[in-house]
Amino acid sequence: MNIIEARGLGKRYRGTWALRDCTFALPAGSVTALVGHNGAGKSTLLNLLTGLIEPTEGTATVLAGEPAGSPAALDAVGYVAQEAPLYQNLTVGETLRVIASLNRRWDQRRAEARLAELGIPLSRRVRRMSGGQQAQLALTLALARRPRLLILDEPLAMLDPLARFDFMDTVMSAASQDGLSVILSSHVLAELERVTDHLILLSRGRLQVAGNVRTLLAGHRVYTGPAGQAAELAGRLPVVHVRGDGDRARVLVASGEEAGEPPDGWRREAASLEEMVLGYLREPGAAAYPAPEEVTI
């Protein structure tokens, strides 16, 4: 079962395509990192998945075929928008009651337990809370709805490093306990490597990389060797990106062990997620989408 499916998905704003030709699928239970430069179309993609905006072309479905934004989709998709918008004039307790009243499914005990754990009293005004606490409250609201898919737009931006760790911890334990699927966009690659099993990389509104992280990493290697021979290497192997390091070059290659023995003078090693992502971010023309499992498009 695919928790998210996008087919030819595109969104145009006043003549400019914010997102185009997006086709991918993510299996249920996956934790997906959505990365890309500012303006690459990350928020547009997430807004399309929540149904906040309508696609200009193509379709987006969630929860095995429910159109994004349909009643069934809204009922089981939790969303924390960028900068975690909340009603600043309400208290935490009132916020819980307001959001509970807007939903069919609500787990008050879970929400209260989590807030107690975080040391956030129900009587506190939202506007008196720090950005980090507001982000935690927004996540609490989304999780109390017992969603099957959680969509997080830049959830870590407002958090300090320790809070980032705690935040991701909550997300991950919810994902493992409830079989929740998660998709989150972020600039912070380091925190993502620890938790994600799928990756979507957008560049200038187009899908550049999509797939299972393990499969992607198995299909990529970093070659280290003489910078002068980098061009020659590119003739033999599918090179994504060459990074000069004095007379040495680090070359990201979109090919795994099946490429055979490395040429003379070159050393081959596994690519880290961060190095692979950075390599693609620097080469917007390159693309890789190994077919993810269970894609039935």
Site for other proteins contains 71 (CB under 8 A):
yes
Return d(Cα 160, Cα 187) in angstroms, integer: 14
Site for other proteins contains 231 (CB under 8 A):
no
Site for other proteins contains 40 (CB under 8 A):
no
Among 8, 39, 88, 291, binds other proteins (CB under 8 A): 88
Return d(Cα 228, Cα 244) in angstroms, integer: 10
Residue 153, token pair as written in the block: 């737009």
Q: Is the dihedral of CA 34, 38, 44, 46 positive or negative?
A: positive
Of 56, 67, 71, 62, nearest to 14 by C-alpha is: 56
- Binding residues for other proteins, rule CB under 8 A, total 40
Q: Binding segment for other proteins among 51-59, 111-119, 155-163, 277-285 (CB under 8 A)? A: 51-59
Residue 289, token pair as written in the block: 């989408």
Cβ atoms of 94 and 166 within 8 Å: the answer is no
Residue 174, token pair as written in the block: 């919810």
Shortest spacing between CB 112 and other proteins, in angstroms: 19
Nearer to other proteins, 87 or 165 (CB): 87
Q: Binding segment for other proteins among 98-106, 114-122, 163-171, 283-291 (CB under 8 A)? A: 98-106
Return d(Cα 33, Cα 280) in angstroms, integer: 15
Site string for other proteins, 110-139 (x = CB under 8 A): ----------------------------x-
3-state SS assignment for residue 169? helix
In the complex, which residues of this chain contact other proteins (CB under 8 A)?
1, 28, 43, 47, 50-54, 63-66, 71-72, 74-77, 79, 81-83, 85-88, 94, 97-99, 101-105, 138, 141, 145, 148
